[in-house]
Amino acid sequence: MIPQHIAIIMDGNGRWARMRGKERSEGHIAGMDALRETVRNVAQVGVKYLTVYAFSTENWGRPQAEVDALMELICKGVEMESAELMKVGIKVVAIGDRSRFSDKVKASLEKIEQLTHAGENMTLVLALNYSSRSEITTAVRNLAQRVAQGEVRPEDIDEQMISSALYTSFMPDPDLIIRTSGECRLSNFLMWQASYSEFYFTPTLWPDFDKAELERALEVYSARDRRYGLVK
C-alpha cells in the first residue's frame, strides 16, 4: 500500500553539520538538497501529498544568524525550484502563520503558490511558522466567533467542522509520519491530524535521508496493520 499522504519532520541538520565541523546553516543547505531529492522520490511512487516541517513557531528562538539563513534558504529554494516543480506538476502550498515573516518571504511563498497552483501530480505542503497548538487555537477562535455571530450552534460543532477549520482542511490526514535523527516525538506537528497516522523513526540525519531510506519507510508502512480502533 502506498500512503496517500506522507508528513516528514526533517530533523538533524545541525548535528550533520557539527559532525563535519561545519556551520549549522550548512546543515540546512544539505537539508534542502535532501528535500529536493525526497520530493522527487515521493512523487515518483505516487504519493499525493507530502507535508514537511520546515520551520516551527519555536524555531524563532534560534540564534538570529540561523533564523536568517533559514529565511534566505526559503526564498532561494522558491526561486530555484519553481520552474522544475511546475514542469513536474507539483503544487506547493504553505501552511502556518505567515504574519511574522518578512515581506520578502511572504512574496516568495505567494509566488510559488501561484506559479504551481495547477500542479496535479502531488501537493507539497510547507509547514512554516507552524505549530499544532497555534493552529488549533486559531481554529477554536474562528469557530467561537461564528458561534458568537449566531452562524453556528455549539451543538453543531463536530470533528469534521474542526478539521475544516484547520490549515490542513484541503487534504487527507497523514497516513505516515517520518521523523529523522533518532528523536521519537511529534514536537507540535499535526497533532490533530496524526490521530491514526503510522510513525516511522529513523536514526538517519535528515541530510542523509535518501531513496533507500524512503523505500525502507514505505516497506515498514506496508507491513503495518491499520485497524483504526476496530478489529479485523
* 28 interacts with ligand FPP by CB under 6 A: yes
C-alpha to C-alpha distance for 182 and 27, rounded to whole angstroms: 17
Burial class (CB in 10 A: 0-12, 13-18, 19+), 9: buried
Is position 11 annotated as part of the catalytic site?
Answer: yes
Interface region with ligand FPP, contact rule CB under 6 A, candidates 7-15, 39-47, 108-116, 153-161: 7-15
Residue 209 or 221: which CB sits closer to ligand FPP?
Answer: 209
C-alpha to C-alpha distance for 95 and 125, rounded to whole angstroms: 7
C-alpha to C-alpha distance for 104 and 110, rounded to whole angstroms: 10
Among 7, 32, 93, 127, binds ligand FPP (CB under 6 A): 32
Interface region with ligand FPP, contact rule CB under 6 A, candidates 24-32, 80-88, 133-141, 155-163: 24-32
Among 7, 8, 35, 50, binds ligand FPP (CB under 6 A): 35
Dihedral of alpha carbons 53, 96, 102, 126, sign: positive
C-alpha to C-alpha distance for 96 and 190, rounded to whole angstroms: 11
Among 11, 26, 173, 175, binds ligand FPP (CB under 6 A): 11
The pattern of x and - marking residues 41 through 80 that bind ligand FPP according to CB under 6 A reads -------------x----x-------------xx--x---
Give the binding-site size for ligand FPP (rule: CB under 6 A): 18
* 31 interacts with ligand FPP by CB under 6 A: yes
C-alpha to C-alpha distance for 62 and 127, rounded to whole angstroms: 17
Residue 5 or 24: which CB sits closer to ligand FPP?
Answer: 24
| β-pairing verdict for 90-95 and 49-56 | unpaired
The footprint of ligand FPP on residues 155-194 (CB under 6 A) is 181
End-to-end CA distance of the chain: 17
Is position 59 annotated as part of the catalytic site?
Answer: yes
The catalytic position among 59, 97, 121, 208 is 59
Q: Three-state DSSP class for 55? A: strand
The one-letter amino acid at 11: D
* 95 interacts with ligand FPP by CB under 6 A: no
Closest by CA to 1, choosing from 47, 35, 32, is 47
Question: Grid coordinates in use for 49?
Answer: 501529498
The footprint of ligand FPP on residues 115-144 (CB under 6 A) is 126
C-alpha to C-alpha distance for 149 and 221, rounded to whole angstroms: 45
Residue 47 or 54: which CB sits closer to ligand FPP?
Answer: 54
Q: Which residues are catalytic?
A: 11, 59
**Which residues in this chain contact ligand FPP in the complex, by CB under 6 A?**
10-15, 28, 31-32, 35, 54, 59, 73-74, 77, 126, 181, 206
